[in-house]
């Protein structure tokens, strides 16, 4: 009886596996940006090199010498110089365009955050892990809901 249950369980498992023809593949890109490199440009370089169509930031820690961030509902960048810890970096990445938000803290712990722009230079390091899927394709298009090009998620 135990052998029969084992055989039936195995057949059920194999049937379920073969009926799921398209399985999602998640890939990982782990890299480090070095002193003087631009945070946003470094991420975009990897996205282009790896041809990432639908990805996201899994983690990022490091430090900056200066920042260029656009705060909510502001036209222009806010900039600063000094020494800043990267306490958070989140967002979606794609060869069709990325949308990244960063939070940084200064030597007193004061923390600011907003839309990551070019011009954030690495102080000592930026250790980044990107994840990507082959199940989706992220694009940026105007869809009429806002005046901006917004994320469009398409299933492959």
Assign 3-state DSSP to the chain and report helix, strand, coil percentages, each to 5. Answer: 20, 50, 30
C-alpha 122/C-alpha 33 separation (Å) is 7
- Confirm whether 45 is domain-assigned: yes
Write the CATH number for 62: 3.30.1330.80
Which two tokens mark 113?
Answer: 């955050």
Span 11-36, pLDDT tens digits: 555 554 544 556 899 999 999 999 99
Predicted model pTM = 0.84
Q: pLDDT averaged over the chain?
A: 91
- Confirm whether 33 is domain-assigned: yes
What pLDDT score was predicted for residue 54? 98
What pLDDT score was predicted for residue 129? 98
Task: Give how many domains the chain has, as a whole number.
Answer: 1
Span 38-67, pLDDT tens digits: 999 999 999 999 999 999 999 999 999 999
Span 92-135, pLDDT tens digits: 999 999 999 999 999 999 999 999 999 999 999 999 999 999 99
- Confirm whether 41 is domain-assigned: yes
- Confirm whether 85 is domain-assigned: yes
- Confirm whether 91 is domain-assigned: yes
Which residues, at least 6 apart from 88, have a Cβ–Cβ distance to it below 8 Å? 60, 101, 102, 103, 113
Which two tokens mark 58?
Answer: 């899994």
Domain residues for 46? 24-134
Which residues, at least 6 apart from 39, have a Cβ–Cβ distance to it below 8 Å? 33, 62, 64, 86, 89, 102, 116, 120, 121, 122, 126
- Nearest to 38, CA basis, from 59, 64, 58: 64
Percent of the chain with pLDDT over 70: 86
129 with 28: CB under 8 angstroms?
A: yes
What pLDDT score was predicted for residue 2? 57
Half-sphere exposure of 127 (CA within 13 A, CB side): 5
C-alpha 60/C-alpha 43 separation (Å) is 11
- Confirm whether 143 is domain-assigned: no
**pLDDT tops 60 at residue 6:** no
């Amino acid at each position: 009886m135990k052998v029969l249950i084992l055989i039936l369980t195995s057949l059920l498992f194999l049937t379920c596996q073969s009926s799921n023809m398209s399985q999602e593949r998640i890939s990982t890109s782990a890299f480090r940006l070095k002193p003087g490199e631009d945070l946003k440009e470094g991420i975009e370089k990897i996205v282009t090199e790896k041809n990432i169509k639908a990805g996201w930031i899994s983690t990022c820690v490091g430090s900056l010498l200066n920042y260029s961030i656009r705060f909510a509902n502001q036209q222009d960048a806010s900039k600063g110089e000094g020494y800043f810890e990267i306490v958070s970096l989140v967002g979606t990445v794609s060869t069709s365009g990325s949308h990244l938000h960063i939070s940084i803290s200064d030597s007193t712990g004061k923390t600011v955050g907003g839309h990551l722009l070019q011009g954030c230079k690495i102080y000592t390091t930026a250790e980044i892990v990107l994840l990507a899927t082959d199940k989706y394709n992220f694009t940026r298009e105007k869809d009429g809901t806002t005046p901006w090009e917004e994320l469009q998620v398409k299933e492959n």
